Structure formats: C-alpha cells, structure tokens
Amino acid sequence: MIRNDIKALSAYHVPDSSGMIKLDAMENPFSMPDDLRKQWAEKLAGVDINRYPDADMYKLRAKIASHEGVEPEQVLLGNGSDEIIQMILIATVPGTCVIPSPTFVMYNLVSQWLKRPVATVPLAEDFTMKEEHFLQVCAREKAVVAFLACPNNPTGNLWRQDKVEMIARGMSGMLVIDEAYGPFSERTHNHLIGPNVMVLKTFSKVGWAGLRMGYLLGDAEVIAQLNKVRMPYNINALTQASATFLLDHFDVFEKQVAELRDERERMAAALADMKGIEIFPSQANFLLVRVENSNAVFESLRQAGILIKNMHGSDRLLDNCLRITVGSHEENDAVLAAMRGIVA
C-alpha cells in the first residue's frame, strides 16, 4: 500500500552521537545558564498539559512580531521551520519548486513527498550563483515557489544582498528567503516581505533546537491562507511556554551567537593555515572545508570522538567536503588539535 517512490527513499538519517563532541547539526553548544534554567523550569511546571495548547497562539505571535518589527498577522508558527517548508509546499498550486544546488535538503525531500517537480540551479565551483541564471530557471520552469537559504546550507556563503533583491523583484512565483543562519550573518531580508516574498526563520540555531520552533514572516493575506494547512496545535504547550519565556531573555542567546561568530572566525583562520585544507567563506555557524580525502578525515575525527558531517557524495560540487559546526572554544580547540594531527 506504500507508494513505490516513498519505498525508494531513504529515511532521514541521524547518526548516533552519544559521548561525542557533536558538531554535525549546527546546534548552539552552550547550555542555558543555571539561574535562567531554574526560572524556565518553574514556568514549565505551571503549564496545564491535561489541556490542548493554545491553538491560535496570538500572544506568542505578537511577541515574535514585535521582536521582528512586523504585525502578529504576518507570523505563522511551525514545529521547526521544516514544518513550514511542508506547509508552503502543500498550500501552493502544483508546479515547479526552484532551488540552488547544493542547498538545504528538505526543500527537495518535501517536494518529493508531495510529488512536486523540482528544478535546480547549479552553483559555481566557488558556490556563488548568478541571479540572472536563477531567474531564467524560474521563468523557464514557471516556478510556483523558490527557496533561497541566506546563508546557504551546506556551503555557508551568503548571496550578495543586491542579488537577493533582484531575485525578489524579478520572480513571479513565491520566493521563500530562509534565514535559518541569519543570526550568524547579521543580515535580514524582512524589508523584502511582500505578496510573493516571505522570510523563514528558526530558533533552532540560536539555542533552542530541542524546542522545535520556526516561524514564517509574510504578507498577512498569504499567512492566513497558509495557516489553513497548519495542523491544529502544532506547537505544543511546553514549547509555547518556553518560547514566551525565553524571548524575554533573548539577550542571553544573542551573546552566545556573538561568541560563536568570533569562534567561527578563529576556527576559519586556524584551519586556513593548515596544509591540505581548503576553507570556504562562511556567514553561518558552520564551516565547509575541502580536504584530500574527506572519508579518511571524517573517520579519524570520529575515532577522536568528534562528529562532523561528511558531505562527500551528496553533490558533485561537494567532493571531499566536510561541514563542521562551530562549537564552544574547547570543542573547537579539540577539532583544531585533531585536524593538525590528521593533516601532519
């Protein structure tokens, strides 16, 4: 009874990381300060989990709206931004979805689940992209929707602002600018929001990956339509209470993000000094590097208790590439020491 194309898919694989330095999933390495953790636990203890959560979440949307400088009606909440990608692909009229290649895998995967055609725009060897090329593919394919991760995952680079603006102006379909790594690039595209431009964000990378909470900012009318394919109660009561509380303490996470940006620069400089490593510019909380034999380096790091992501084989442009999440100072030192040993 299962569709043959679903049978042909592989399940999303999450490797076992127990006991390892976990630098494979762009999580924030810092745990919450003890005093904040205590106050948070007290808030959670007051949540009535015998009741369904608030379905409309107006207050939480209003809080996020004021955090972003938009109206509450312009905010759609998702169980991670992954779920919002799914809502967008469910609600838009059938037709092609255009994405750069390589980019975040879920755009393609969810399109496959929903039997939506996908057209890819291959990046150049240095992972840049010509906006005319992207727009040409959108026009040729009569793109209904396009996703542009800014910065891009897994390459880490951020498209030039004027290029993103040209794509936003030149597209007739819906453009979703995915700012999952926006906090690490310090650039936002909220000013581009309009009837066919939306900005997707997540709290996962700034420190709340376990909560599963993402949000979409868009034109109020479009958000109201997308809201119709949102599962009722998609954000559980504990996540709602956590997000409401943590947004009042967002400065704590902003400081951590700033520290990770500094660590990224330190790591990038140290890796660039090592023989046999090519490092690509990153505006995200991870670094993409090319080594001579990524399978061997990945395995040596694993033996040293460090889990990163081996991108080799996922795209021709990513041959021998490894993606390393920026961790805490000590974790990064462990990576650098291990890498020095490996390349020596």
Ligand X SMILES: Cc1ncc(COP(=O)(O)O)c(C=O)c1O
In the complex, the residues that contact ligand X under the rule CB under 6 A are 26, 80-82, 104, 149, 153, 178, 180, 202, 204, 214
Is the CB of residue 72 less than 8 Å from the CB of residue 122?
no
Nearer to ligand X, 25 or 274 (CB): 25
Q: HSE on the CB side for 151, CA within 13 Å?
A: 24
Residue 163 C-beta: closest distance to ligand X, Å: 17
Nearer to ligand X, 214 or 339 (CB): 214
Report how far residue 136's alpha carbon sits from residue 171's, in angstroms, rounded to the nearest whole number: 10
- Residue 204 gets which letter from DSSP? I
- Residue 206 gets which letter from DSSP? I
Residue 157 C-beta: closest distance to ligand X, Å: 12
Report how far residue 29's alpha carbon sits from residue 32's, in angstroms, rounded to the nearest whole number: 10
The two tokens of residue 96 are 């092609």
Residue 81 C-beta: closest distance to ligand X, Å: 4
Residue 343 C-beta: closest distance to ligand X, Å: 28
Nearer to ligand X, 113 or 274 (CB): 113
Residue 181 C-beta: closest distance to ligand X, Å: 7
Is the CB of residue 123 less than 8 Å from the CB of residue 129?
yes
Nearer to ligand X, 80 or 173 (CB): 80
Nearer to ligand X, 173 or 214 (CB): 214
Report how far residue 177's alpha carbon sits from residue 166's, in angstroms, rounded to the nearest whole number: 13
Q: In this chain, which residue has its C-beta nearest to ligand X?
A: 80
Nearest to 304 by CA among 341, 268, 343: 341
